[in-house]
Amino acid sequence: MTSSPKVAPQGAITDVPGIEAGHFTDSRRPTGCTVVLAREGAVGGVDVRGAAPGTRETDLLSPSNLVERVHAVMLSGGSAWGLDAAGGAMQWLEEQGIGLEVGPARIPIVPAAVLFDLYLGDARVRPDSGAGRAACEAASSQAPAEGCVGAGAGALIGKLYGVERAVKGGIGTASVRAGGFTVGAIVACNAMGDVVDPETGKVIAGARREDGRTLMDTRRSLLAGEPPLRLVQAANTSIGVVATDAVLTKAQASRLATAAHDGLARSITPAHTMLDGDTLFALGTGASGRPAEMVLLATMAAEAVAIAVVRAVRAATGVSVGGLHVPAMRDLAGP
């Protein structure tokens, strides 16, 4: 597979103290997984907005439930099969002595979400526990790679009018600093809809017209009455993590995950559909020692997510697998 090109830096989720990130990218076909580590534990929250999610341990993050802190979040390709990657992260964390002490055992808490990337290559190749372990071994506090790596390796954008008219998706990261806080995000973008630059309102990646070189604008096409050519159940989904150094309660972490979805809505259209499993996690490391200012943090989280989505498609490269060629944003004939 072609390595992802570099795009201008705009921060990363690892700018948040206490957060590390790592990828595993499978060389056999475009798929992989991405882990976000919080070795010291972080207060966690989640919001699932898509109607076709694949998740693990999300109920645990409800503010009314017992466990306060998580030690990692796993993002994976492979659809429901990819949930196995979280088990590999648990094994690795246990070996590092990291986890929740429960009687005689130490149990790492690793929520997870998956996306559908089985269009490209042999669908029997998908992330497993070994892939999750490899992502943990690769994790560091350095800015993670972007584009067609990790959970974004097999991501596609704009499939409502057929996968043969899609554009390559990927994974992106960003961070925002304001008011003495840092908020970072990492998003694997595999949306059914198009990606829009929130600064201009223009579609920059998504469903292509029959000429294969220009974008059709899914939102406008739907509103104009152009019926979708193909509807594939649960074959999409954008997943990600937002993290902050603010001191959060569990309820605040849940609310931060909710607000972060505003970033998906700004940068993906349509978002949160019946055919997407859009899921965002929120982590609070508390490293700043400062209590949360939720209006500010919510604004920062949405901003970081929107930037991360745009960066995901700008860093992506085209791919050809099994007779299917999917170009990237940079391959098209113009904005």
What pLDDT is recorded for position 7? 54
- CB distance 93 to 108 below 8 Å: yes
The pLDDT assigned to 10 comes to 82
Position 322 scores a pLDDT of 85
List CB contacts of 281: < 8 A, sequence separation 6 or more: 36, 44, 45, 46, 61, 73, 111, 113, 240, 241, 242, 257
d(CA 159, CA 170): 14
pLDDT of residue 1: 43
Q: What is the rounded distance in angstroms from the CA atom of residue 104 to the CA atom of residue 236?
A: 41
Confidence (pLDDT) at 233: 65
Task: Give dist(CA 185, CA 15) in Å, integer.
Answer: 10
Residuewise pLDDT in 10s, the chain (335 residues): 444 445 555 899 999 999 999 999 999 999 999 999 999 999 999 999 999 999 999 999 999 999 999 999 999 999 999 999 999 999 999 999 999 999 888 999 999 999 999 999 999 999 999 999 999 999 999 999 999 999 999 999 999 898 999 999 999 999 999 999 999 999 999 999 999 999 999 999 999 998 888 999 999 999 999 888 766 666 889 999 999 999 999 999 999 999 999 999 999 999 999 889 999 999 999 999 999 999 999 999 999 999 999 999 999 999 999 888 999 999 986 54
The pLDDT value recorded for residue 56 is: 97
- What is the CATH architecture assignment of 13-323? 4-Layer Sandwich (3.60)
The one-letter amino acid at 26 = D
For residue 2, the model assigns a pLDDT of 44
The answer for residues whose C-beta is within 8 angstroms of residue 101's C-beta and 6 or more apart is none
Q: Given this model, what pLDDT does residue 8 score? A: 54
Note the pLDDT tens digit of each residue in 54-112.
999 999 999 999 999 999 999 999 999 999 999 999 999 999 999 999 988 899 999 99
Model pLDDT, residue 231: 61
What per-residue confidence (pLDDT) applies to 234? 64
Consecutive H or E run containing 93: helix 84-95
